[in-house]
Structures are given as structure tokens and as C-alpha cells.
Amino acid sequence: MPDKPEIPHHAGHRDRLRQRFATAGGDALADYELLELFLFRSIPRRDVKPLAKDLIARFGDLGGVAAASIEALTEVKGVSEKTAVDLQLLRSVASRMAREGALDKPVISSWSTLVNYCRTAMQHENVEQFRVLYLDKKNRLKADEVISKGTVDQAPVYPREVVKRALAHDASAIILVHNHPSGDVTPSTSDIEITKTIVEACKPFNIVVHDHLIIGREMTASFKTLGLI
């Protein structure tokens, strides 16, 4: 009688982890364990617990893993290009879900949802990104666009382009958003100056600039709250 095929030692672990998730939900699992669950399908025949821990150690948290580039992910031993692409799906899904939660809702009544969307989309960016949110007459989010990407500390912004895109979207108001990869959300002199310039450029077209948000890894700053707009 032929020997039974040997069952990998991690097979039972996978079943137990799936059961814990099914019973108690994601809040009962550590970040690396949630990442394990995702990796089970991308890497079906290997113990991925050490890899999940390596990824969290390298990129800080689940958000950092999902935001990492394919090049950076494949530098981690055991991550193929296919697995790296699969991991980037995490961020795309999270961002899409957050955006859907904010879309077509008045920003005043769903401000926290809007900020959550901006944080999901931008807090782990390694370079500065400048985004504009376009609102209709009822202050509902209709669209958003990344209008500029730059270096770790600067993204070039052209007020004329901001106004042009707002008119194209028939927007009555806009919200400016950019990230500080350094984590420090203190507005810089150039941040303040470009905001004032955009506000003035929008006035002849009756486009209101409601706020300018700066997104950091841990915090968010609001120009309106700070009295800068």
C-alpha cells in the first residue's frame, strides 16, 4: 500500500486561522494574521506566516504593505511579482470602498467619511501628491483627481489647472488635499501661499474652496480648523 502523502505542517494552521476569522472576525486577528489569510490564496503551498511577519516588519503595518510598490515588495524574500500585484489589490479595494462611502453625500454630514477616504488613498504615499475633490451645489462629492505628484517634500501645483478642472466638473466648491510623507502635517509657507493663490483664482468663477487638508501617516491637518482659510 502506498504511503499517504505527507500533510504540510501549516495546513492545520491555515484551517484554524480561517476558523478564527469566521468565528470572531478580523478584529480578533493581528495584522500579520490578516495578511496571512490574504496570502493563502496567492501562495497556496507554503507556510506564509514568516513572510507575513517580514512584510509587516519591513513596511510597518497593513496599510504600508498595501501601499508599497511592486519593486519594493519583490525585494522581500519570498514575494514574487504576482504576489506583489495581489498585495496591491488590498489598497485598491480599500480605497474604492472608502470612496464609495463618501461619493454623492454632503461633505458636511459625512466629513469623517471623506477624511477617511483621503487618508486611505494618501497616508502611505512615499511622495507628495496633490488631490482636488470636486463638489456640486449641494456640497456632494462628485469627483476627485490627483492633479500633481512630486518628490518626498513637494508636488508642483498650478492654480490655473485647478480652476480649469473645477469648471470642467461644473463644481461649485472644491477641497484641496495633499500629503506630507514626512508625517509632519504642519502647513509649510508654500502650502499656505499656494492655497491663498488658488482661493483667489477661484473667486471670479464663484468656486468656493472649503478646506485644504494635509494628510500624514498618523494625523490630518485642516486649514479651516487652523484658521488659514
pTM for this predicted structure: 0.69
Of the options 1.10.1060, 1.10.150, 1.20.1260, 2.60.40, the CATH number for the domain spanning 9-95? 1.10.150
pLDDT in tens, the chain (229 residues): 455 444 555 567 887 888 888 888 888 888 888 899 889 888 887 888 999 999 999 988 888 888 788 888 999 999 999 999 988 888 888 777 777 766 666 776 678 888 888 888 888 888 899 999 999 998 888 888 998 887 656 667 889 999 999 999 999 999 999 999 988 999 999 999 999 999 999 999 999 999 999 999 889 999 999 999 8
Domain segments of the chain as ranges: 9-95, 106-222
CATH fold of 106-222: Cytidine Deaminase; domain 2 (3.40.140)
Same fold, 9-95 and 106-222: no
pLDDT tens-digit series, residues 30-53: 888 889 988 988 888 788 899 999
DSSP 34-93: HHHHHHHHHSTTS--HHHHHHHHHHHSSHHHHHHS-HHHHHTSTT--HHHHHHHHHHHHH
